[in-house]
């Protein structure tokens, strides 16, 4: 049974916790740096990326998580979590930072603002079709050759990755936690 943390500073915390409990993981809600110890993996939830980044800094979690990432902690970022893990944020604020753990450039709200949110099935390698819930979703604009693309979406834009993995770091443009389908979470926990 993997021990998986969910960063619990802002965003879709409760939904990720429920999904992980449903698949049998031991869950830790992470609000303090010391709660990152002894985790097999960590989920950075969707929410508001600049707010989460601010709270990571003010809580003191940021430097500890940077070290954990460098030491190989498996991390899965959904929506805002993907933005926080990306190498480059194309339209972020001047003071916005990221962990630069995934070799991707992302555009915040890349599929449109809140009013343009949508649901569309996504075909995930090794899993099959899962529901994709895209809410102010980041769009991966460029990606490195070492990135494993697990799912793409053609939303009238020629297609972009929406679920990626680079070693032990995963990123997802959509919100798998807002559905009843646990297969994306299972894919992540199976890799731990």
User: Which of 16, 155, 160, 175 is flagged as catalytic?
Assistant: 175
Instruction: Please tell me the total count of domains within the chain.
Output: 1
119 noted as active-site residue: no
Residue 59 CA: distances (Å) to CA of 26, 103, 177, 190: 23, 26, 25, 30
d(CA 45, CA 6): 7
Which residues make Cβ contacts (< 8 Å) with residue 99, sequence separation at least 6? 65, 66, 69, 84, 85
172 noted as active-site residue: no
Using the predicted structure, report yes or no on whether residue 111 has a pLDDT greater than 90: no
User: Which of 16, 79, 155, 172 is flagged as catalytic?
Assistant: 79
Domain ranges, residue 60 = 3-190
pLDDT for residue 70: 97
User: Which of 15, 160, 177, 185 is flagged as catalytic?
Assistant: 177
d(CA 23, CA 188): 11
Q: What is the mean pLDDT of the chain?
A: 95
79 noted as active-site residue: yes
pTM of the model: 0.95
The CATH number of whichever domain residue 151 belongs to comes to 3.40.50.880
124, 161, 184, 147 alpha-carbon torsion, rounded to 10°: 100
For 43-53, what is each residue's pLDDT tens digit?
A: 999 999 999 99
Instruction: Say if CB 163 and CB 132 are below 8 A apart.
Output: no
Calculate mean pLDDT across residues 77-106.
94
């Amino acid at each position: 049974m993997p021990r998986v943390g969910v960063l619990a500073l802002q965003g879709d915390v409760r939904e990720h916790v429920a999904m992980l409990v449903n698949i049998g993981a031991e869950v830790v809600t992470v609000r303090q740096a010391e709660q990152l110890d002894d985790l097999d993996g960590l989920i950075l939830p969707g929410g508001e990326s600049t707010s989460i980044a601010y709270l990571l800094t003010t809580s003191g979690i940021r430097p500890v998580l940077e070290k954990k990432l460098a030491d190989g902690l498996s991390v899965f970022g959904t929506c805002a979590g993907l933005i926080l893990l990306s190498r480059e944020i194309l339209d972020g604020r001047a003071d916005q930072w990221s962990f630069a753990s995934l070799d991707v450039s992302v555009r915040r709200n890349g599929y449109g603002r809140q009013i343009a949110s949508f649901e569309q099935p996504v075909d995930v390698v090794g899993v099959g079709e899962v529901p994709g819930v895209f809410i102010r979703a980041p769009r991966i604009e460029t990606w490195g050759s070492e990135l494993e693309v697990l799912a793409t979406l053609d939303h009238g834009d020629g297609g972009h990755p929406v679920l990626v993995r680079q070693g032990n770091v995963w990123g997802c443009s959509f919100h798998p936690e807002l559905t009843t389908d646990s297969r994306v979470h299972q894919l992540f926990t199976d890799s731990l």
